[in-house]
Structure 1
């Protein structure tokens, strides 16, 4: 290879490396400029708050996927776990007239049971994670449908026996899904997970496992224990996302968490390339969610039909995956 070819190769690599590290941020800046020029309402304070509020639930659920990715796994059941969580937490108020603490606690316990099922089947039975969580995605989705009897749970709903539900959703619970608390919860979740994965030995162990599981095992790291922890945390954050969703809409709609799966997966994978991290990370996931939120909000302002949104989101995800896997070569 000639010297000129070597220089050209290095230049091309540097350009690709730059785009890999900062492409997401540059895309966000370009979208901000484009949508701002297209609509005077885009960069208003109200709309910025709307974007942050819209990405809060996606980000929290995506953080769960991020943790599962950190150990080399993948959790497709988070959307269904969120659906179960919404159904349980709202039903605790409406059907059983429980207080906020009990409603949230029951939802968290059930979500952790779901995470434990995933962990047991993946870690102990050794079923491939994507296949197992695909199966449990349908199982948990069916559980949510069966529990709600295929109906929306809401205050003053008519029960199966013809009576009106007496339970009322507490005012304290209703505040969780409102601004600014919903945004604050998202930021706290991102910071906690970022610190956990980046600055604690447990987080570093999880990254080591994700990089080379066998090497981690040979070095004395309790691999199975951390993989179980990852799926428990994934279910936990999916549940928190579901609880926030329930507070925001004040009802438990049929499979309420399912639409968040694709956005959460996209946000987590986009995060791989942010800052050149090359691995799942909380800050990158937040940036990925912001990119998706800006896209959705801007396209709505441009009157793009809602049924075309998935084309855009799918394209963004495909591009993020292309960057991630090309970099790994």
Structure 2
């Protein structure tokens, strides 16, 4: 009896050798799409404005994005847990007002101001976590409410004024304290007069957060909750406690960002934090496309923050009108993300 097996098996290698070549190219584009766009932006800005590649300018970009990246890391942790922290901008803005109040009104020391900010971040995170896990308020609505609550709360102690030495408070007294050099050094000092301290803090926190999220049980459970909270609960994970911990981590990191803002500007600025939320969320979402991760990841978020920082810095150096910058940023981000995800979805469909 004649067998047809040989004719079937001889066709397999032809298909298997044809598909991987196309698939590998698509996979490569999926993994490096955002990085390629970032490289193209750097080349274009460097050609149009050679000073763009100056070391001081590159370090200034990193210093500018350090706070956005910090807030983005917090957003990433809550996204990994299946949530979405929209309050990080207000937490950072309120924290820098807390630091200013401790220093200028209460005449506290630098470390007292830092600890007060971090304690405030923990309380804000617990507040969000309780709203979400105990009162069953949806994540976006709960953190949106916290956003508006803190945006108004930070204005009350100063009557809506920025806080600096000599500011007259609502009760008629004058704030006579000042920012000590030790506190200002957190936002202004440089290692070996080269690398800004906020950049070093970002690098350290990124390393810790990457390790915790990718290599520890805590991180694996967080991702499991984000993937399927019911399954994680049935597997024995205390999902409510983990979700609260995610929001506490997010708000505490945002409060650290507020410390750096206050240390950098040297006053409590009521306008601080207005654009931080959108930039932090942008960085976290761009992180989905870095290396084709398609999930919240800390390293991708930092790359996303650098992407946004390079874009804004380059547009500024090229004297692009300020009213065009958000539009150009949106166009490039949408193009980069659409390209990356469409390539990934096509390769997945063909595989």
State the TM-score, normalizing by the size of structure 2.
Answer: 0.87
Q: SS of 1:176's equivalent?
A: helix
Q: SS of 1:272's equivalent?
A: helix
Tell me what 1:243 maps to. 259
Aligned-partner Cα distance in 1 for 2:75–2:52: 30
Please say if 1:134 is aligned against 2:144: yes
Deviations 1:3-22 (A, max 9, x none): 99999987665544333211
Question: 1:163–1:28: structure 2 CA closer, same or farther, 3 Å change rule?
Answer: same
Please say if 1:75 is aligned against 2:75: no
Tell me what 1:263 maps to. 279
Please say if 1:211 is aligned against 2:258: no
Contact 1:64 / 1:238 at 8 angstroms: preserved in 2?
yes
Aligned-partner Cα distance in 2 for 1:217–1:207: 13
Aligned-partner Cα distance in 1 for 2:156–2:332: 34
Question: What's the Cα RMSD here?
Answer: 2.3
Aligned-partner Cα distance in 2 for 1:320–1:228: 33
Tell me what 2:270 maps to. 254
Aligned residues: 328
Please say if 1:45 is aligned against 2:55: yes
Q: SS of 2:179's equivalent?
A: coil
Contact 2:163 / 2:267 at 8 angstroms: preserved in 1?
yes
Contact 1:177 / 1:245 at 8 angstroms: preserved in 2?
yes
Mapping for residues 104-253 of structure 1, pairs under 5 Å: 104-160=114-170, 163-178=173-188, 179=190, 180-253=196-269
Question: 1:77–1:316: structure 2 CA closer, same or farther, 3 Å change rule?
Answer: farther
Aligned-partner Cα distance in 1 for 2:216–2:15: 44
Aligned-partner Cα distance in 1 for 2:158–2:266: 15
Q: CA deviation at 1:72?
A: 1.1
Please say if 1:301 is aligned against 2:317: yes
Q: CA deviation at 1:168?
A: 1.2
Contact 2:82 / 2:226 at 8 angstroms: preserved in 1?
yes
Contact 2:110 / 2:180 at 8 angstroms: preserved in 1?
yes
Q: CA deviation at 1:119?
A: 0.6
Gaps (5+ residues) in structure 1? none
Gaps (5+ residues) in structure 2? 1-11, 191-195
Q: SS of 1:271's equivalent?
A: helix
Aligned-partner Cα distance in 2 for 1:320–1:214: 34
More off after superposition, 314-323 vs 119-128: 314-323
Question: 1:173–1:252: structure 2 CA closer, same or farther, 3 Å change rule?
Answer: same
Deviations 1:87-146 (A, max 9, x none): 000111111100112111112212211111111111112221112211211111111122
Tell me what 1:19 maps to. 29
Q: SS of 2:268's equivalent?
A: coil
Contact 2:33 / 2:336 at 8 angstroms: preserved in 1?
no
Deviations 1:156-179 (A, max 9, x none): 323345554210111111011123
Q: SS of 2:86's equivalent?
A: coil
Question: 1:83–1:269: structure 2 CA closer, same or farther, 3 Å change rule?
Answer: same
Contact 1:64 / 1:235 at 8 angstroms: preserved in 2?
yes
